[in-house]
Chains A and B, each alone.
Chain A
Amino acid sequence: MDFNDTLAEAEFRAEARDWLASQAPKREPGQSYEVRRGDDALVPHAKDWQAKKFEAGFAGINLPKEYGGRGATRIEQIIFGQEEATFVTPPSIFGISHGMVVPTLLAFATEEQKQKFVPATLKGDEVWCQLFSEPGGGSDLAGLRTRSARDGDEWTINGQKIWTSGAHYADRGVLVTRSDASVEKHKGLTYFFLDMKSPGIDIRPIKQISGASNFNEVFFVDVRIPDNQRLGKEGEGWRVALTTLMNERVETGVRPAPDFEDIFALARNLLIESGPAIADAAIREQLADWYIQTQGVKLTRLRTMTALSRGQQPGPENSIAKVVTSSKRQRIAHFGMDLMDMGGIMRDRDAIPMQALFQDAMLDAPGNRIAAGTDEILRNVIGERVLGLPREVRVDKDKPFSDLAALEK
Chain B
Amino acid sequence: MNFDFSDDQRMLRDQARKFLTDQSPPRVVRNVLEDSAKAYDDTLWGDMAALGWMGTAVPEEYGGAGLCPEDLCVLAEELGRSLAPTPFSSSVYLATEAILVAGSEAQKQKYLPDLAMGETIGCFALAEGVGVPTPRTISVTASNSALNGVKEPVADGDVATFAVVLARTGDADERGMSLFIVDLSDVEREPVETIDPTRSHARITFNGAQGELLGAEGEGWDLAQKIIDRAAVYFAFEQVGGAQASLDMAVDYAKNRFAFGRPIGSYQAIKHKLADMYIATELARSNAYYGAWAITTGAPDVAVAAAAARVAASEAFNHSARENIQTHGGMGFTWEFDCHMYYRRAKLLSLALGGERRWKDRLISQLEARNAA
Using CB atoms and an 8 Å cutoff, list the residues of chain A in contact with chain B.
Answer: 1-6, 9, 75, 264, 268, 278, 281, 284-285, 287-289, 291-293, 295-300, 302-303, 305-307, 317, 320, 323-324, 376, 378-380, 382-384, 386-393
Contacts and interface: CB of A to CB of B under 8 A. Distances in A.
B284 A387 contact: no
B3 interface: yes
A389 B251 contact: yes
Tell me which of B3, B265, B312 has the highest count of chain A C-beta atoms within 10 A of its own C-beta: B3
Nearest to B299: A3
Contacts of B282: 296, 300, 317, 320
B278 interface: yes
Contact of B364 (A9, A278, A384): A278
Interface string B300-324: 0000000010011001000000000
A284 B268 CA distance: 33
Given A292-B308, A300-B286, A390-B262, A3 B3 contact: yes
B361 A299 contact: no
Kindly list the 8 A-B residue pairs having the minimum CB-CB distance in the complex, ordered from nearest. Answer: A296-B283, A288-B360, A299-B286, A383-B271, A389-B265, A379-B275, A382-B275, A292-B312
Given A281-B361, A296-B286, A389-B271, 10 more contacts: A2-B293, A3-B3, A296-B284, A297-B286, A302-B3, A323-B275, A378-B275, A379-B275, A387-B274, A389-B251
Contacts of B315: 289, 292
B2 interface: yes
Contacts of B2: 1-2, 306
B181 to A, nearest CB: 32
B325 to A, nearest CB: 18
B254 A4 contact: no
Interface of B: 1-6, 70, 247, 251, 254-255, 262-263, 265-268, 270-272, 274-276, 278-279, 282-287, 289-290, 292-293, 296-297, 299, 308, 311-312, 315, 357, 359-361, 363-364, 367-368, 371
Contacts of A287: 364
Contacts of B279: 320, 323-324, 382
Contacts, number: 155
22 contacts: A1-B2, A3-B293, A75-B1, A268-B368, A292-B311, A295-B286, A296-B312, A299-B289, A299-B290, A305-B3, A306-B2, A307-B4, A320-B278, A379-B271, A379-B276, A380-B268, A383-B268, A386-B278, A388-B255, A389-B255, A389-B265, A389-B270
A288 B262 contact: no
A392 B266 contact: yes
Contacts of B308: 291-292, 295
Contacts of B285: 300
B109 to A, nearest CB: 31
* Interface of chain A: mostly helix, strand, loop or mixed: helix
B265 A5 contact: no
Contacts of A1: 2-6, 70, 289, 292-293, 296
Contacts of A378: 275
B287 to A, nearest CB: 5
Tell me which of A6, A268, A285 has the highest count of chain B C-beta atoms within 10 A of its own C-beta: A285
A303 B3 CA distance: 5
Contacts of B278: 320, 382, 386-387
Nearest to A302: B3
A284 B251 CA distance: 34
A390 B70 CA distance: 36
B354 to A, nearest CB: 13
Contact of B287 (A4, A264, A299): A299
Given A382-B278, A388-B251, A392-B268, A293 B283 contact: yes
A285 B357 contact: yes
Given A288-B360, A299-B287, A390-B266, A379 B3 contact: no
B263 A291 contact: no
A393 B1 contact: no
Nearest to B309: A292
Contacts of A324: 279, 283
